[in-house]
Structure 1
């Protein structure tokens, strides 16, 4: 019947969209760390990745002009870079004019 076909179509579309979502998350996440230190001057920002079922490691992801650099938060230099970026952001915040 047409209602069964409609139900099958809805199920199929939902299934495909869920699959595409999980594939995009999997592609974006870090699955291993860089082996070399990233020069601080090339870093534009960072994000934090927490270990999940799809992303198997905790990571600090430094964003550069060339892409992303997946780094191990256990390294002191990684957390020093994060602190430097936070301090720079706080300085920008403090010196910015408040807009109403």
Structure 2
């Protein structure tokens, strides 16, 4: 007969394995927006998050040297920053094409 202690340890182990697996599979996505405006000069790039089953909201994710910042894509300053970053990328692209 299996003791209660062994049963509890087995259930705990299985639970920990499931939690660890779930964290590894779940994408790291924004679940809320930051509330302050970032200074443009700290932004290295951005990515776009759209709503999925795992990610609850649309977001622009600004990448900085300190990590990511989830922002509301409807805010004027976010739209302006994305436009500035796109223009910067187009300039770099045109410059690199001219050197070929």
Which range, TM-score by smaller chain?
Answer: 0.7 to 0.9
Runs of 4+ in structure 1 off by over 2 angstroms are 18-23
Q: Distance in 1 between matches of 2:32 and 2:90?
A: 30
Cα distance between partner residues in 2 of 1:45 and 1:59:
14
Distance 2:58 2:65 in 1: 22
1:91 positional shift = 0.2
Root mean square deviation of aligned Cα: 1.5
Counterpart for residue 10 of structure 1:
none
Secondary structure at the counterpart of residue 93 of structure 1: helix
Q: Which runs of 5+ in 2 are unaligned?
A: 1-17
Q: Distance in 1 between matches of 2:53 and 2:84?
A: 30
- Residue-by-residue CA offset, 1:41-84 (whole Å, 9 max, x unaligned): 00000000001111000000000000000000010110100000
Tell me the residue number matched to 2:63: 63
CA shift, 1:19, in A, is 4.0
- SS of the aligned residue for 1:45 comes to strand
TM-score, length-scaled by structure 2: 0.73
* Residue segments in structure 1 that go unaligned for 5+ positions in a row: 1-15
For residues 51 and 70 of structure 1, what CA distance do their matches in structure 2 show? 13
For 2:39 and 2:60, how far apart are their aligned partners in 1?
14
CA offset at residue 21 of structure 1? Answer: 5.1
Deviations 1:5-59 (A, max 9, x none): xxxxxxxxxxx7x845532x1xx10000000001100000000000111100000
Q: Which has the larger radius of gyration?
A: 2
